[in-house]
Amino acid sequence: MVELEGYVVVPLRTSPQAQHCPSVYMREHFIRLMDPNKPKGRTLFLINVPPYVTEDSLRMVFGRAGSIEAVEFAAKPGKEETIKWYKGTGEPFSTTKPPFIFKVAYIVFEKSSSIGKALAMQSIDLFNSSGECIIKTGMELWHEEYESNYILDARKTKLQISKYMAGYDKRERAAAEAAKTGEADADGWVTVGKEGRNAGFEQKASVIGRLEEKVAKGNKTKELKNFYTFQIRESKMQNIVEMRKKFEEDKHKIKLLKQSRRFKPF
């Protein structure tokens, strides 16, 4: 067994005969600010997990070391990286998938004793007892992907939609209800809806922008621009400055062009 900078390095085998295997680096997950989802003492941290490895396959492999609470991936170690990794995925009717890249994995065991067992593993074997790879790739994967994810069965989809929409309607109604009552919640906050007597204006950037513009416009109409001599003088000066600026800018452009040797016609 190789150890490097506190990491245990094990080969990840996809078949019993595999020779050139990717190396996975693992250790117990430990950082100063622990994430509550990756509890101290029960979480195994893996680096250099190849892109094709799935949560399920890791669950299967490390299941041998003890029962597993969760397996999570991230693009790199760090706070909120896991959330970023899973953002937008798993929602119905969306095709967003986590990226297909090398990643890190967190395996949360139920018992802390499992960690030691996992670290003692000689290799991560991604094949079953008969030597077949448990990761689906190639034609098998794509065929399955096509059949189950690309083609949607109309009847089933319709059922799913009606179920989802029923849930959505319920949520919406509840929200509308909450807005109408206008009662403060435990923290003292009142939900203000679009309707009702004390409805607030929409907190949108465009709406706010429009309001601010209106104020600015009002101010502007009151201002006299071309009234005093000094204003006229200044505007003239401004004009010259602009002209000079333009000239300098053009000169700069030319300098850039010159660097790329764009003036030799032949």
- Which residues in 41-70 contact other proteins (CB under 8 A)? 47-48, 50-52
Cβ-based nearer residue to other proteins, 80 or 249: 249
- Answer for the pair 111, 72: CB distance below 8 angstroms, yes or no: no
C-alpha to C-alpha distance for 63 and 53, rounded to whole angstroms: 15
Tell me if 186 contacts other proteins by CB under 8 A: no
C-alpha to C-alpha distance for 234 and 240, rounded to whole angstroms: 10
Q: Which of 29, 28, 26, 31 is nearest to 12 (CA)?
A: 26
Cβ-based nearer residue to other proteins, 156 or 197: 156
Among 139, 186, 215, 224, binds other proteins (CB under 8 A): 139
- Looking at residues 234 to 263 of the shown chain, list those that interact with other proteins (rule: CB under 8 A): 234, 237-238, 240-241, 243-251, 253-254, 256-258, 260, 262-263
> Nearest approach, Cβ of 66 to other proteins (angstroms)?
25
Among 70, 121, 134, 135, binds other proteins (CB under 8 A): 135
Cβ-based nearer residue to other proteins, 33 or 205: 205
Tell me if 157 contacts other proteins by CB under 8 A: yes
> Nearest approach, Cβ of 113 to other proteins (angstroms)?
26
Among 16, 41, 63, 99, binds other proteins (CB under 8 A): 99
> Nearest approach, Cβ of 22 to other proteins (angstroms)?
5
Amino acid 223 reads E
Q: Which of 61, 52, 62, 56 is nearest to 22 (CA)?
A: 52
- Looking at residues 187 to 216 of the shown chain, list those that interact with other proteins (rule: CB under 8 A): 202-206, 208
> Nearest approach, Cβ of 116 to other proteins (angstroms)?
22
Amino acid 40 reads K
Local structure of residue 65 (DSSP, 8 states)? G
Cβ-based nearer residue to other proteins, 110 or 248: 248
Cβ-based nearer residue to other proteins, 110 or 132: 132
> Nearest approach, Cβ of 196 to other proteins (angstroms)?
18
**Most distant CA pair in the chain, distance:** 95
- Answer for the pair 149, 165: CB distance below 8 angstroms, yes or no: no
Tell me how far CA of residue 31 lies from CA of 28, 35, 110, 177, 180, in angstroms.
10, 9, 19, 44, 46
C-alpha to C-alpha distance for 123 and 24, rounded to whole angstroms: 9
Cβ-based nearer residue to other proteins, 25 or 62: 25
Among 1, 31, 165, 190, binds other proteins (CB under 8 A): 165
C-alpha to C-alpha distance for 122 and 120, rounded to whole angstroms: 6
- Answer for the pair 53, 12: CB distance below 8 angstroms, yes or no: yes
Among the residue ranges 35-43, 148-156, 181-189, 214-222, the one whose residues contact other proteins (CB under 8 A): 148-156
